[in-house]
Structure 1
């Protein structure tokens, strides 16, 4: 008989917002190893705010966020060693090339064979030809790929991504879906906010529909149906 795995990321009656004003209804969610969850809802519904709280970047108004059974604290070494967040902000070292940026990120997180790992990521994210370019020389879509590659250059058991499909061409969006499925297949928990039904369909993700009155956990097909309504 199989034993249900314990959640690696969990919220309990979590309220998120700014200046004591919640942006959505309380969230109750348990994410286990190997699961993919899509956070869906209209613009302004609180998806990005929720992700920031999951990563410990934003303090909850009330309720709890737990990672591996402990209160989330982005300052803790163990948390940073297991949880990767990729938000909708370009973040790079302006004085380094794309490859140097990724190598520094990998080495800073203790990745063995950082150079080889980075070369594989550059190829996987279609940046091999731009490895010697400065980030400021990259297009918007290429900088997005660099941001994603930096997340995958780190050890990770939990991935939290804010609309990772943004600024990607259709081919790279399809590749991204395969990458996320592979991550879940090796046991990582994946949570991503999205407006893209194809990304949800290709990953087979379940959904959390964020709203003012309630936040609903949905199966895969119900998530697709809900996403079609709120786009």
Structure 2
């Protein structure tokens, strides 16, 4: 596979742990403006696939490329192009909500970081909690802070691992529209979701992850299903 226009390419990729694959081989390309939904039952390997695509886990075999270059999270170009939100509540305990977002905005050289932070606080319903530290937030508020930090920074590839977790239905719908807007602006999006409504609202194609059955069969594993 060599899709010159792709933001991300995975070629003959196997993912897993200690040499054991958690799902079948996959090859996929995601271009600008596309939203690839990654779906499957619990334990099928979705998060492992996406962590490997994001460069957070080494593949068992095959390769992942972002804009034609190996996925290397420590590389400057990779960090400038890729934003990823996983279910990890990792914060600086002494920084407020606003200070966290300002740190990201200034770190990525936004022209008007204060304005950008205010916009994200408003979008994610965090204005009234802007001066609170993470330990004072509810679980849902912490999730919205993680999402705000992912969306505030520029990126050509946005990776979201079950972003609907801990969000109420109204915020899920709002987030689905936001994902669509990012795609309309040319961002490539990889979205892991269990929410059928978010899937229908956001995805332009779907990667179905199936559990490995020994021996690994080419008919099982990762499958691309076109959709809109």
TM (normalized to structure 2)?
0.93
- Compare 140-149 and 82-91 and name the one that shifted more: 82-91
**1:118 matched residue in structure 2:** 117
- Provide the residue aligned with 1:98 in structure 2: 97
The count of aligned residue pairs is 218
- Counterpart of 1:65? 64
Aligned to 1:219: 226
Specify the SS of the correspondent of 1:107: helix
Unaligned 5+ residue runs, structure 2? 213-219
- State the TM-score, normalized to the length of structure 1: 0.92
Aligned to 2:52: 53
Quote the residue 1:11 is aligned against. Answer: 10
Aligned partner of 2:215 in structure 1 is none
Equivalent residue, structure 2, for 1:74: 73
- Structure 1 gap ranges (5+): 222-231
Aligned residues of 1:5 and 1:32 also touching (Cα < 8 A) = no
Q: Deviations over 1:61-118 (max 9, x none)?
A: 0001010011111110011001001011112111111001100111112122111100
Mapping for residues 74-223 of structure 1, pairs under 5 Å: 74-211=73-210, 212=212, 213-220=220-227
* Contact 2:10-2:62 within 8 A present in 1 as well: yes
